[in-house]
Amino acid sequence: MWESESESGAGREYGSGLLTSTKHSLKTEGFQQRGNCWYVSTDIPSDLLVQIGDANFHLHKYPLLSRSGKLNRIIYDSRNPDLNKIVMDDLPGGPEAFELASKFCYGIAIDLTAGNISGLRCAAEYLEMTEDLEEGNLIFKTEAFLSYVVLSSWRDSIVVLKSCEKLSPWAENLQIVRRCSESIAWKACANPKGIRWSYTGRVPKVASPKWNDMKDSSPSRNQQVPPDWWFEDVSILRIDHFVRVITAIKVKGMRFELIGAGIMHYAIKWLPGLMNKDTSIPGEEGSNSSTSNSISSSGGSWKGGLHMIVAGPRDDTSTLQAKDQRMIIESLISIIPPQKDSVSCSFLLRLLRMANMLKVAPALITELEKRVGMQFEQATLADLLIPCYNKNETTYDVDLVQRLLEHFLVQEQNESSSPSRPPFPDKHVSSNINAKTRVARLVDSYLTEVSRDRNLSLTKFQVLAEALPESARTSDDGLYRAIDSYLKAHPTLTEHERKRLCRVMDCQKLSIDACMHAAQNERLPLRVVVQVLFSEQVKISNALANNGSLKEGAESHYQPMIPNRKTLLEGTPQSFQEGWTAAKKDINTLKFELETVKTKYLELQNDMENLQKHFDKLLKQKHSSAWSSGWKKLSKLTKMTNVENHDISPQIPTSEEQNRKTTTRRWRNSIS
């Protein structure tokens, strides 16, 4: 991706990369190829046939034996000086490397490049072309080119490491893989100042915005280098070499967030099925073809690409492509940084989905589940809907979500009891509560989705619903929605099973809308409906006592529940939302009826006050006409009227007292 200022200088010091050997060389005009056979253009007839695979090399013994210890030993061990045919099918690098080595023995100039140096170095080691036979032999020359030219260049290090994929275990034993990996890691972690850009492999379509404006020529040194500049180049490597590079980068001390981003970039490139169509990175349309090309070039075991098994049937996990994918997933799991937010929770869950499908080692799956539990509050409902690949089971893997939730609770408990927790305990507790609240909403949404599966047992539903502590849920509306969906999908439940199912819900935590819906829900047990009505009655009574009216009380009492209701409606199935809409219409109808009853009550109260006033007038007229009947009779009548109308209105006693005072005063005047 870039090369330092010393790269071009190192190449000039070594020359143009042309190697020749003039000592004891046979004069020749070069090699000629006829089909699969190679011939030396010389007047001397060849006396040695070297067969490597389908290629046949007609050569001379003297130039080869003077520089190859292995050929010397083969002819010596055969005890046949007239031996004229040698078969070496296991020579690393194949016919291409042997052709270059043969030309070197004949003194013909060969061009060393990053593409052929690894194969030639391994072939020289195989042929034992050491300094004991001739000074400046091929091992010395190739080793010098690797050390002084290749390892000083970013691009050459990538190309050589890529070419080592067909040279195992020779490249590994000769430390070519280790040295190239460390060179790449050092350059990836180095200060990017004074860097010149040069691309290797396919020019990335998706990268930092700085890349899109770059031309073929190297940009200015003052241009800012994006931190992810090395992702695309490193992602062309095979998984085992990629692991070596990432391991070396970790040792150099790169930030774990950047390492995790590089791992995700590699996984998306080599496992296209990891991302859904709606979440794929724009511009990666050509990744599939590039993946297939890079894999097929590394050997027969990688031919055909890795994406074919993702769309295949589940029973096809024994194929070669599935084994390759399984190896990639297992390797990626082993190199993910241990820090919490090194990779996203969505990436971990998608990796877990593929790991279950491809039957990755159980120990690695458990490790991946623990990683998901560390940041479970960041998950989404779509990522949790992981299919269950066991036959005769539920559609979605409910047991897996149960394990993820357990890992999350264990992690939360460890963080709260850890002596090295942050110095602000209030903020730490608040963050834990918020995380549990988000997880509770996520679990309720997941229960609503999986409850429609007829194979989901009541025990699994209940265990998952009760896994979180009661303090995690501020409202049980989401849990009620899941219970109602389960009852709708399982109409054959007995009364005892329905009661057992509803025990996971707290009626006191239901909003007014949920209570109204539950009051008319025929699927709920009668006892639960009574509890809901009683709870709602208590709320209404408290609201009337505190605010004086039903409307004001409802607004003040249920105002905190409105945001929860809107939040709980998100992510619910469309069919349930339609049922909830119908229930809200019924609730609005009941509210209107309550308002009507309240209006009638006020009208009756006004009529009662009017009747009371009319009754007072009648009493006043009656006492005025019968003033001579005596004060005892009037006193009895006043007492009786006072007792009968004591509860009707407070105005009756007042009028009676006035009448009695008036009657008494008149009586006294008449006596006098």
The pLDDT of 430-455, averaged and rounded, is 88
Phi, psi of 268 (to 5 degrees): -65, -35
Our CA dihedral for 493, 497, 498, 502, rounded to 10 degrees, sits at -150
Residue 216 counted as domain residue: no
Neighbouring C-alpha atoms within 13 Å toward the C-beta of 150:
28
Residue 434 placed within a domain: no
Q: What H or E segment, with its residue span, contains residue 197?
A: strand 196-197
Question: Does any domain span residue 84?
Answer: yes
Q: Is residue 52 part of a domain?
A: yes
- Look at 490 and 20; give whichever has higher pLDDT: 490
Mean pLDDT of 40-56: 86
User: 491: which 2 tokens?
Assistant: 């109409």
Query: For residue range 213-255, what is the model confidence (pLDDT) as tens digits?
Result: 333 334 445 557 788 889 999 999 999 999 999 999 999 999 9
pTM for the model: 0.69
Q: What is the pLDDT of residues 133-151, one digit of tens each?
A: 888 999 999 999 999 999 9
Q: What is the percent of the chain with per-residue pLDDT over 70, rounded to a whole number?
A: 68
pLDDT (tens digit per residue) in 361-400: 999 999 999 999 999 999 999 999 999 887 767 899 999 9
The answer as to whether 140 is a domain residue is: yes
**Predicted confidence band at 274 (pLDDT cuts at 50, 70, 90)?**
confident
Say if residue 650's pLDDT is above 80: no
Provide mean pLDDT across the span 60-75.
89
C-alpha 588 chain-centroid distance: 41
CATH number for the domain spanning 93: value is 3.30.710.10
**What's the pLDDT at 93?**
92
- What does the pLDDT look like over 1-47, one tens digit per residue? 444 444 444 443 444 566 655 555 556 667 788 888 888 887 788 88
More confident residue, 666 or 108: 108
Asked whether residue 81 is assigned to any structural domain, the reply reads yes
Which residues contact residue 409 at a Cβ distance below 8 angstroms, ignoring those fewer than 6 apart?
467, 468
Q: What is the pLDDT of residue 17?
A: 63
514 vs 656 pLDDT, higher one: 514
Domain presence at residue 115: yes
Retrieve residue 194's tokens.
């004074």
pLDDT in tens, 170-190: 999 999 999 999 999 999 998
Asked whether residue 209 is domain-assigned, the answer is no
Whole-number mean pLDDT of the chain? 76
* Structural domain boundaries enclosing 110: 30-152
Give the Å distances, CA to CA, from 72 to 75, 83, 290, 468: 5, 11, 44, 76
Q: For residue 262, give the nearest of 343, 201, 359 by alpha carbon.
A: 343
According to the model, what pLDDT value does residue 668 have? Answer: 41
Q: Which residue is associated with the tokens 């931190």?
A: 227
| Distance of alpha carbon 288 from alpha carbon 511, whole angstroms | 50
Mark out the alpha helices in 271-397 (DSSP H runs).
287-296, 320-335, 345-357, 362-374, 381-384
For the chain, the domain total comes to 1
Q: How confident is the model at residue 636 (pLDDT cuts 50, 70, 90)?
A: low
